[in-house]
Amino acid sequence: ARSLHTLARVLAERAEHGAAVERYHEASQLYAESGESFEAIKVRINIGGCFASMGKPREGIRLLRAALGEARFAGHRRLEAQAWSGLGEAHYRLGDRERAQRCLRESDSLAGQTDSKFPDLLFFNAFYSWKMAAEEQNPTREKIAFGRLKVLRSSLERRFAEVDAFDAFVERRRSDA
């Protein structure tokens, strides 16, 4: 199950979402059979994210809401925060910025609790807040989000598409200066 899960994540990072969904489904079945509820929920969140990335945000939202309910019921705060982040991205892709912001704030409230913070989720949320602020031409919110991104960037061990996009933006700014 872990191997399929890893393969699916690599496929998703390469934007091969259809193939990723197939591997995620296989991993999900194996996790469910072995009683790994945390990993099974995580996979369902990833499937919802893939659907949102494939241009099917409504299906992604449906799947993410279901996974959110499972994560909340099981008491998995990290997965709950991750599902809220995924919902924020999916609503952003639908063009519903207000709902996207609400979802990202829900994720932030769970991911930023003092006993154990999740900087990767906080970064992801700040990245989409930054994008929305720039699109709305709100320089104050844009600067606040950019500042959060700079602070959070140093604490990230894992790289993902939003980190790469931010790093590329910062590098372009340095070369333009």
pLDDT in tens, 122-138: 999 999 999 999 999 99
Contact between 100 and 91 (Cβ < 8 Å): yes
Contact between 57 and 83 (Cβ < 8 Å): no
**Looking at the predicted structure, is the pLDDT value of residue 177 above 80?**
no
Residue 122: how many CA atoms within 13 Å on its side-chain side? 21
What is the pTM for the complete model shown?
0.90
Could you read off the pLDDT of 87-110 as tens digits, one per residue? 999 999 999 999 999 999 999 999
What's the pLDDT score for residue 176?
73
